[in-house]
Amino acid sequence: MLERDTERNPECKKRHTLPRLPAIGLLLLVLSGCSTGPEVTDHDITLESAYDGTPLVAATDAMVGVHYDAGLFNEAMSLDIREGRDTERYRFVAGPRTVELFERIFTALFRDHRRVSGRPPLEEDSDGLDGVLEVRLAHVSSYAMDYRLTLFELSGRQIYEWQARGSIARSVGDVEDAVLGLRSAMRDAAAQFLIAFHDPPQIQWWLLEPGSAFEDAPPPAGPF
């Protein structure tokens, strides 16, 4: 059929004698472009150490059990960076660095501390402990880390809860920005806790009589 057409119409022959290899190449290129949709690639980023010194605070005479809430290891901040049609999704995991930072803080703040498996009453031996401190990550977002630290008596009764929220104003640019911002927010939150630790009257009483309840405290000497 083709040969017959070309015999009758030389123009037709000209059209069909165009080099076919580039056309096939172009077709393949177009098809290959259509065959894949936008891709999302996930990356887990573990933050750098936020602090590796010894805090300038006075140690108390208390010995506490420390419980890191499991949620601490699940919460993460996500940052999507578009590259053409594809997305690179970075997930910043704060748990391990939070534990590392608070371990340093508790080493400076308490006479001694050890990890326990949960909130009191404890299943394991609680000998020597004056209370249990639980660390939770309530919220993590763009450069904000919101921690809750709760001190319990060994009976399970709550003595006090601190809210420590570190936040940094930083333009969300790239991965390096996010790492630096979260690191600063984490440090800021931990610093707030350290400085505010001694302030509540419940804690001042607990530090005087570790293991006893604030309600047992004698009325303050007046008049005020």
Partner 1 sequence: MCRAGVPLVLFLAGVIGACVPVPTPGEVDDIDVPFFETAFLEPGEGIVIQGDPRHLDQETELLECLRDGIEEADPPLRIIPTQGFRDAFFPWFEPSTSPKDEADFERVLAEPRVQAKLASMNVRHFVSLKADTSETEMGGVEMIAVGATGNTRTSRVTAEVVDLRSGEALGEAGVTVSGKQLFLHYTIFGAVLFATTETTACEELGRNLAAVLNGQAISYPDEAFEGRHGTTARP
Q: What's CA 139's distance to the chain center, in Å?
A: 8
Contact status: 22 vs partner 1 (CB under 8 A): no
What is the nearest approach in angstroms of partner 1 to the Cβ of residue 190?
A: 7
As given in the structure block, the two tokens for residue 191 are: 């610093």
- The rounded distance, in Å, linking the Cα atoms of 81 and 183 is 20
- The rounded distance, in Å, linking the Cα atoms of 153 and 212 is 8
Contact status: 144 vs partner 1 (CB under 8 A): no
- The rounded distance, in Å, linking the Cα atoms of 121 and 163 is 23
Of 95, 120, 131, 181, which one interacts with partner 1 (CB under 8 A)? 181
Contact status: 34 vs partner 1 (CB under 8 A): no
Contact status: 59 vs partner 1 (CB under 8 A): no
Contact status: 58 vs partner 1 (CB under 8 A): yes
Looking at residue 62, the DSSP 8-state letter turns out to be -
Of 13, 119, 148, 187, which one interacts with partner 1 (CB under 8 A)? 187
- The rounded distance, in Å, linking the Cα atoms of 86 and 33 is 13
For residue 192, what are the contacts with CB-CB under 8 A and spacing of at least 6?
Answer: 162, 164, 165, 166
Contact status: 6 vs partner 1 (CB under 8 A): no
* Residue 222 amino acid letter: G
Count of residues engaged in binding partner 1, rule: CB under 8 A: 22
What is the nearest approach in angstroms of partner 1 to the Cβ of residue 72?
A: 20
Q: What angle do CA 140, 145, 146 make, to 5 degrees?
A: 95
Of 190, 203, 205, 206, which one interacts with partner 1 (CB under 8 A)? 190
As given in the structure block, the two tokens for residue 151 are: 């001190």
Contact status: 220 vs partner 1 (CB under 8 A): no
Contact status: 192 vs partner 1 (CB under 8 A): yes
Contact status: 168 vs partner 1 (CB under 8 A): yes
What is the nearest approach in angstroms of partner 1 to the Cβ of residue 216?
A: 30
Residue 40 dihedral angles phi and psi, to the nearest 5°: -115, 120
CA R_g for the chain:
31
Contact status: 84 vs partner 1 (CB under 8 A): no
Contact status: 166 vs partner 1 (CB under 8 A): yes
Binding site for partner 1 (CB under 8 A): 51, 53, 55-58, 166-171, 180-181, 184, 187-188, 190-192, 194-195
